[in-house]
Structure 1
Amino acid sequence: MIVNTKQYEVRNLHYKVRSAQFKDAQALSELRLQIDGETENLDRVKGEAYINEEGFKDIIKSDSESLNTIFLVAEVNGTLVGFSRCEGNALKRSSHKVEFGVGVLMNYWGYGIGKNFLKESISWADANNIKKITLNVLETNEKAITLYKNYGFEVEGVLQKDKLLSDDNYYNTLLMGRLN
């Protein structure tokens, strides 16, 4: 689904949050690769499950036409610095829910981009009769967990020793959900 563009200014950084467009496909491919290499908070290491420009074009087309999926990007001076998706599915028994995922370049952490992605996604979900938003978050990502709790998400479960990180230790993944 396509949403209206919103402008933000946080600590002198001007950015906009808008729906992903076909012209963003190559930049999204590069952005996702870079973000995956900057943090261990996400599922992939750099280069895993790589999506090229054509792959992103397919995702953007599908998401734009879907009533229960939204794909947002954050843009600073014409450059993409983050993205988020709420992905639904067509299965009748789970068509009432979407899964939220987000990635922001490390240099842009602390400017409310992730928070604004979340706020826009919640607003979209509430307006479109989505009853539940789910997400997965690494137990060590305390800032994200606090943010999600502040927006009505609750821990619904824990996947024990779910992720093996570069320190050769296993970490839990929290399953969180927000009901509308």
Structure 2
Amino acid sequence: MREIEITDAKELLELCLKLDKETQFMMLEEGERQQAVDKQQDQINRVLSTHNQIIFIATNGDQIVGYLGAYGGEYRRNAHSAYIVIGILKDYIGQGIGTRLFQTLEQWAYKCGIHRLELTVMAHNLQAFALYKKVGFTIEGIKKHSIHIDGSYVDEYYMVKLL
């Protein structure tokens, strides 16, 4: 686990493209993601230059196999809150990577004054839901018909953890 660097842009983009292809639990569908490395570098640079935002990556050798991004509010009234996005390659799920990413995130959040962590998870994504409960998130609400996948509407749980 480590903080992302600008030089990781190409590998992070490749990871996200793989995730778009292998799972329906991420927001973007295959072919929907912008595929320019310079755009990924710009996004990483914006995150790293903002005090309440971060991306952590999990690696296996030189390959990025998972990431967790925390995107803090941009105003004084919501700067204490960070929205979480996490993605781990299918072959690496169940190996404790998600738990370690969340532990790393919490250490960072305490240092940065983040008080509220929030995320959404599709109601039928039982593995992710179990991970989020394990690391202390609770359901705050249900977003009915929040996502549209393969002609069907899917509910999402809105989950939160207060630090």
CA contact (8 A) 1:33 1:50 kept: no
2:153 equivalent among 170, 173, 179: 170
CA distance in 2, matches of 1:77, 1:60: 21
Is it true that 1:99 corresponds to 2:51 in the alignment?
Answer: no
2:40 aligned counterpart, secondary structure:
helix
Shift of 1:155: 0.7
Q: Structure 2 matches for 1:100-119, cutoff 5 A?
A: 100-119=84-103
Is it true that 1:75 corresponds to 2:59 in the alignment?
Answer: yes
Aligned residues: 163
- Stretch moving more, 34-43 or 49-58: 49-58
CA distance in 1, matches of 2:35, 2:107: 28
Q: Which residue of 2 aligns with 1:7?
A: none
Shift of 1:154: 1.1
Q: Unmatched 5+ residue regions in structure 1? A: 1-16
CA distance in 2, matches of 1:46, 1:170: 18
Q: Which residue of 1 aligns with 2:106?
A: 122
Aligned AA for 1:173? Answer: E
Aligned AA for 2:30? Answer: K
Q: Which residue of 1 aligns with 2:43?
A: 59
CA distance in 2, matches of 1:89, 1:52: 26
CA distance in 2, matches of 1:152, 1:75: 24
1:125 aligned counterpart, secondary structure:
helix
CA distance in 1, matches of 2:96, 2:34: 27
1:111 aligned counterpart, secondary structure:
coil
Aligned residues: CA RMSD: 1.3
Which whole-Å deviations, capped at 9, do the CAs of 1:8-35 have from their partners, x for residues lacking one?
xxxxxxxxx1111121111111110110
CA distance in 2, matches of 1:66, 1:175: 24
CA contact (8 A) 1:153 1:178 kept: yes
Is it true that 1:149 corresponds to 2:133 in the alignment?
Answer: yes
Q: Structure 2 matches for 1:14-93, cutoff 5 A?
A: 17-93=1-77
Aligned AA for 2:63? Answer: T
CA distance in 1, matches of 2:11, 2:162: 33
CA distance in 1, matches of 2:97, 2:43: 22
Shift of 1:49: 3.4
Aligned AA for 1:112? Answer: G
Aligned AA for 1:25? Answer: A
Q: Unmatched 5+ residue regions in structure 2? A: none
CA distance in 2, matches of 1:163, 1:57: 28
Shift of 1:51: 4.6
